[in-house]
A and B are shown apart, each in its own frame.
Chain A
Amino acid sequence: MSIPLHTTPSAGVSMKDYSTQTRCSWCDGCGDYGIWTAAKEALVELGLAPWQVLLCYDVGCHGNMSDKLQGYRFHGLHGRVLPFAAGAKLANPKLPVIAFGGDGASFSEGIGHLVHSVRSHYPITFVLHNNGNYGLTTGQASSLTPQNQPMNTAPNGVAEATLNSMDFIFSLEPTFVARGFSGDIKQMKSIFKAALVHRGFAFVDILQACPTYNHFATHTMLMERYYKVEDEGHDPLDFKKARALAINTGKRIATGILYRNETVPNFIERLVPRQGKTTTLVEEVEKVDISKLMEEFV
């Protein structure tokens, strides 16, 4: 089932439309290059011109993408990208909105927002740049860094247990969960395209190489272990199977669209006052006559 985008695709959009003069500042071999390219390709293939999209960035290495492509963009506070993106989407549901965030912010300071964004089922796409550490602040442990792994703030190894991010996400009963790998642009692109037309909140986990600080899940290691679930006939409607595939990464890492359910109404669809409305909150800003509302106070 495909949910149409609320905006009319533009003709003749190309990769060039998304390019900027700003030079990339990521380390050689950083997974952000791949995610950046896949995101632009997905937008182009969906026929979305830069002025038709809103790209929201959290703070971290990935956030430095904010001036490396075109589009209406926002680069905000550490951990807070989801509620800002949700607010923008609620105001203008015609605007396709992607929120990008790292594992550091999203599973620490911003974890509450993540929980409630899944629960609220806002119709936005969330791309998790999952490189297993805090890159931009120079290699501290995130809650997804393996326990005992020596990091900058934990030279003796991380004392805390590792958060099982996928098990956690599945416990929230999401409607769209996908996993990609920063070394496979083509697959990421198709995941992003599916996420962008998803009815509600789409969670996209991208396993991202961090050549400078992540020495435990390297590009080579991810390359060797990842496989595509669609190649093995996985049914993305099978929640139980999807969860199992997502969690068990010991030997092989399942990627692709793990779970997808288009039958659950999103947040906006569930709002009683918005039923039947064809205008956006942006279009509705005007002086409102409150004479009727005043009557109950006389």
Chain B
Amino acid sequence: MTRVSLKIVGASGQGIDSIGEILAKVLKRSGYCVFGYREYPSLIKGGHASYQLDFSNEAIESTEMKVNIVIALNHHGLEHNVSDLKAGGILIHSTEVWQFPKEQQALIERLSISVVYLPIEKMIADLKAKPILSNVILSAFLWAIFGQKAESLKTMVGEKFAKKKDLLDLNMRCIDEGFCLKKEQHKDLTVTLPKSSTTWKKHLLLTGSKAMGLGAVHAGVRLFAGYPMTPSSPLLHYIAAIQNKTGMVIKQAEDEITAAQIVSGAMFAGTRALTATSGGGFDLMSETVSMNAMIENPAVFVLAQRPGPATGLPTWTGQADLLMAVHTSHGEFTRCVLAVSNAEDAFGLMSEAFNIAEEFQISVIVLTDKHIAEALYTEKPFDQKKMIIKRGLVTDPEKRRKLVAADRYDPKVKNGVSLRWLPGSEAATYVAQGDEHSADGTVEESARNAKEQIDKRMRKAEWLKKMLPEPELFRVESARPDAARPTGTGEVGRGKWKVESDESFAPDILLIGWGSTKSVVLDALKDYPLTTNHQPLSIAYLHFTNLWPLKTERFSALCSKAKKTILIEGNAQGQLGMLLKQETGTPIHHRILKYDGRPFFVDELQSLIGEKLTTDH
């Protein structure tokens, strides 16, 4: 697969995101699959930040560590990001007088890096434009060296300023200037893009947070309560931004406890309500998770992970809150933990989470992370046909009239899920009781009742586990060492990898992971040399979306057949590995763990997998 990567670096607030978003959209519309990745410190202005775009004519959902092009908006980029370039890369900057230190100069020569200075400041002064428009000149310049037409860029930028004639004209002039600059002063500077593919033109370009917001709206969520905390805030912002279109109630609560309680009250009354937070906020919500377990109230919590402990690395990513999600809150009860893998999942898992929450009357914790929350995905318009809302409510007025209060928490019910009907329904009334209670919610402390009710609430887990699917399995295989691996474009190629039945399948190598790791693992395997010591190699990847209760049959069967098992996780302990061992007794041989706040980069992961493959046991 041919991929191109470019990284825009500079100070936060300098407009890095704006160039990134302009280029991402025009690339997608021109037939490329784009993946955008942001790095920034926890500051509003200043601090060194970056926006990286990786794109291809094939499906791509990962970031490279070494890139083809660096655009440095200030001299810090020249200081820090030269080493991010691949051999033959291009460094574009606008710092007028700049001398690289000796070592860097040597690196530039050794890697044959082209250093391109653009007199952007002067151009902006001549145009009498605001400095922010230098982003448009830069975007145009890049678009020109990609060998693309000015028109596609003009159409896109034009949409943004359609109603502001002055700004529109100025933007168009900046685009012309960018193209002119390339034509007149950098004639030989070109980057050859792979052949474009029409597949991507009608796709959506959006962050995981926005995909999640759309998923929530689609699932019938009518209230969102939250307290700002990166990386969950972009979801709150998006849901708030579209409130006049959706008619939803948005509440910025005074703290996370409030957000969790408002949402619980709203769910209790019978709407669908959502809250989202990160680790620290979720700590505060944990008492509410326990409360909902006791009153058997459905609730959905989005837990967007960032590295801790404490404030940790607020604007960076990680997968270190899996065990917290699985174990949070006092008491023993059934819960469900799901993990989003990418934008597609962020959309789809919202309705799934609400259906599980309501059908089982439990809390569902949906894990995501900073990487998914803020990365830009190129995504097929979401399929709206397959989703069905399942509420698990007694809605028929005739049936409701026959209810007795003791139906609400009847401990005798099969599967542990008793009848639920909403406050305000003309029916028998009950207490949603936080104390241990009998079938109608009356406080009841007898030994017999306590055991019965705990058994009832725990029994849901068995049924839930039966209903949940086994983890997904993807395989890459070649008959001969030099044979072509499955390629194809887009989802088609990826779909072919998915293994539905694996009874007779014995991979040499079994990789195991969850969450955002899926995208990068699959991208890494796409380009992976499928041999070791000149022997053909079959590699499979087992991906967990449903993390609790944990389905382990497929895992156990594959482990008994695979020659080597490798766990890939974004935390220090190998938390999924710990859960799998706890549930099956089967250890995973090797572990690739990353916990420095950065996601796995595709080139980095390939070499880490390579190291494990050459290990002799």
Bound-state CA distance A76–B268 (Å) is 12
Q: Which of A39-47, A139-147, A257-265, A285-293 contacts B (4 or more CB under 8 A)?
A: A285-293
Q: With A22-B442, A87-B263, A90-B262 known to touch, is A75 a contact of B214 (CB < 8 Å)? A: no
Bound-state CA distance A171–B435 (Å) is 35
Asked if residues B272 and A54 are in contact (CB atoms below 8 Å), the reply is no
Bound-state CA distance A170–B243 (Å) is 33
Instruction: Tell me which residues across on chain B come within 8 A of A273, comparing CB atoms.
Output: 243-244, 246-250
Bound-state CA distance A271–B254 (Å) is 17
Asked if residues B424 and A72 are in contact (CB atoms below 8 Å), the reply is yes
Q: With A67-B443, A285-B222, A298-B204 known to touch, is A83 a contact of B271 (CB < 8 Å)? A: no
Bound-state CA distance A77–B422 (Å) is 20
Q: Which of A26-34, A91-99, A100-108 contacts B (4 or more CB under 8 A)?
A: A91-99
Given contacts A285-B271, A297-B210, 16 further A-B contacts (CB under 8 A): A50-B429, A66-B433, A70-B429, A73-B432, A87-B266, A87-B269, A91-B270, A92-B269, A112-B255, A113-B261, A116-B253, A281-B266, A294-B204, A297-B204, A298-B202, A298-B203
Asked if residues B441 and A67 are in contact (CB atoms below 8 Å), the reply is yes
Bound-state CA distance A22–B434 (Å) is 17
Asked if residues A87 and B381 are in contact (CB atoms below 8 Å), the reply is no
Asked if residues A293 and B271 are in contact (CB atoms below 8 Å), the reply is no
Instruction: Tell me which residues across on chain A come within 8 A of B291, comparing CB atoms.
Output: 76-77, 80
**Interface membership of A59, Cβ < 8 A:** yes
**Interface membership of B137, Cβ < 8 A:** no
Instruction: Tell me which residues across on chain B come within 8 A of A291, comparing CB atoms.
Output: 384
Query: Which of A72, A73, A86, A113 gathers the greatest number of chain B CB atoms within 10 Å?
Result: A72
Instruction: Tell me which residues across on chain A come within 8 A of B245, comparing CB atoms.
Output: 292-293
Asked if residues B443 and A76 are in contact (CB atoms below 8 Å), the reply is no
Contact pick for A75, options B263, B270, B434, CB 8 Å:
B434
Contact pick for B434, options A77, A271, A281, CB 8 Å:
A77
Asked if residues B429 and A281 are in contact (CB atoms below 8 Å), the reply is no
* A152 vs chain B, min Cβ distance (A): 22
* A240 vs chain B, min Cβ distance (A): 28
Asked if residues B384 and A289 are in contact (CB atoms below 8 Å), the reply is yes
Asked if residues A294 and B381 are in contact (CB atoms below 8 Å), the reply is yes
* B220 vs chain A, min Cβ distance (A): 4
**Interface membership of A217, Cβ < 8 A:** no
**Interface membership of B611, Cβ < 8 A:** no
Contact pick for B217, options A72, A76, A288, CB 8 Å:
A288
Contact pick for A91, options B273, B425, B427, B432, CB 8 Å:
B273
Instruction: Tell me which residues across on chain B come within 8 A of A80, comparing CB atoms.
Output: 257, 261, 287-288, 291
Asked if residues A95 and B423 are in contact (CB atoms below 8 Å), the reply is yes
Bound-state CA distance A292–B253 (Å) is 29
Instruction: Tell me which residues across on chain A come within 8 A of B269, comparing CB atoms.
Output: 54, 87-89, 91-92, 95, 282
* A102 vs chain B, min Cβ distance (A): 15
Bound-state CA distance A273–B269 (Å) is 20
Instruction: Tell me which residues across on chain B come within 8 A of A286, comparing CB atoms.
Output: 220, 389
Asked if residues A67 and B431 are in contact (CB atoms below 8 Å), the reply is yes
Contact pick for B271, options A59, A92, A287, A289, CB 8 Å:
A92
Asked if residues A282 and B254 are in contact (CB atoms below 8 Å), the reply is no
Chain A residue with Cβ nearest B214: A290
Asked if residues B423 and A88 are in contact (CB atoms below 8 Å), the reply is yes
**Interface membership of B158, Cβ < 8 A:** no
Bound-state CA distance A55–B203 (Å) is 49
Contact pick for A73, options B210, B267, B429, CB 8 Å:
B429
A sample of 26 cross-chain residue pairs with beta-carbon separation below 8 angstroms, ordered by A number, consists of: A20-B442, A51-B424, A64-B443, A66-B431, A72-B424, A84-B265, A85-B265, A87-B223, A89-B265, A90-B249, A90-B262, A91-B273, A92-B271, A95-B269, A112-B258, A271-B249, A272-B243, A280-B271, A281-B266, A282-B269, A282-B271, A284-B220, A285-B222, A287-B218, A288-B217, A290-B382
Asked if residues A51 and B427 are in contact (CB atoms below 8 Å), the reply is yes
* A63 vs chain B, min Cβ distance (A): 8
Instruction: Tell me which residues across on chain A come within 8 A of B78, comparing CB atoms.
Output: none
**Interface membership of A277, Cβ < 8 A:** yes
**Interface membership of A15, Cβ < 8 A:** no
Chain B residue with Cβ nearest A280: B271
Bound-state CA distance A51–B384 (Å) is 37
Instruction: Tell me which residues across on chain A come within 8 A of B249, comparing CB atoms.
Output: 90, 268, 271, 273-274, 281
In chain B, positions 188-209 with a C-beta closer than 8 Å to chain A are 202-206
Instruction: Tell me which residues across on chain A come within 8 A of B539, comparing CB atoms.
Output: none
Give how many B residues have a beta carbon under 8 Å from the other chain's beta carbons: 72
Bound-state CA distance A292–B242 (Å) is 11
Asked if residues A290 and B218 are in contact (CB atoms below 8 Å), the reply is yes
Asked if residues A284 and B262 are in contact (CB atoms below 8 Å), the reply is no
Closest 10 CB pairs of A and B: A87-B265, A72-B423, A87-B262, A83-B261, A91-B269, A297-B204, A84-B265, A281-B271, A281-B222, A91-B266
* B551 vs chain A, min Cβ distance (A): 27
**Interface membership of A247, Cβ < 8 A:** no
Bound-state CA distance A272–B248 (Å) is 10
Chain B residue with Cβ nearest A279: B247
**Interface membership of A135, Cβ < 8 A:** no
Instruction: Tell me which residues across on chain A come within 8 A of B429, comparing CB atoms.
Output: 50-51, 70-73
Asked if residues A92 and B434 are in contact (CB atoms below 8 Å), the reply is no
* B434 vs chain A, min Cβ distance (A): 5
Bound-state CA distance A144–B435 (Å) is 26
**Interface membership of A115, Cβ < 8 A:** yes
* B129 vs chain A, min Cβ distance (A): 26
Asked if residues A297 and B206 are in contact (CB atoms below 8 Å), the reply is yes
Q: With A80-B261, A88-B266, A285-B391 known to touch, is A52 a contact of B424 (CB < 8 Å)? A: yes
Instruction: Tell me which residues across on chain B come within 8 A of A77, comparing CB atoms.
Output: 261, 287-288, 291, 434
Bound-state CA distance A85–B526 (Å) is 52
Bound-state CA distance A86–B253 (Å) is 11
**Interface membership of A74, Cβ < 8 A:** yes
Instruction: Tell me which residues across on chain A come within 8 A of B266, comparing CB atoms.
Output: 87-88, 90-91, 281
Chain A residue with Cβ nearest B222: A281
Chain A residue with Cβ nearest B405: A70
Bound-state CA distance A262–B253 (Å) is 25
Bound-state CA distance A80–B265 (Å) is 11
Chain A residue with Cβ nearest B260: A83
In chain B, positions 217-253 with a C-beta closer than 8 Å to chain A are 217-220, 222-223, 225, 242-251, 253
Bound-state CA distance A99–B214 (Å) is 34
Instruction: Tell me which residues across on chain B come within 8 A of A284, comparing CB atoms.
Output: 220, 222, 247, 271
**Interface membership of B430, Cβ < 8 A:** yes
Instruction: Tell me which residues across on chain B come within 8 A of A50, comparing CB atoms.
Output: 429
Instruction: Tell me which residues across on chain A come within 8 A of B263, comparing CB atoms.
Output: 87
**Interface membership of B9, Cβ < 8 A:** no
Q: With A50-B429, A88-B265 known to touch, is A74 a contact of B271 (CB < 8 Å)? A: no
Asked if residues B243 and A115 are in contact (CB atoms below 8 Å), the reply is no
**Interface membership of B264, Cβ < 8 A:** yes
Instruction: Tell me which residues across on chain B come within 8 A of A86, comparing CB atoms.
Output: 262, 265
Instruction: Tell me which residues across on chain B come within 8 A of A83, comparing CB atoms.
Output: 253, 257-259, 261-262, 265
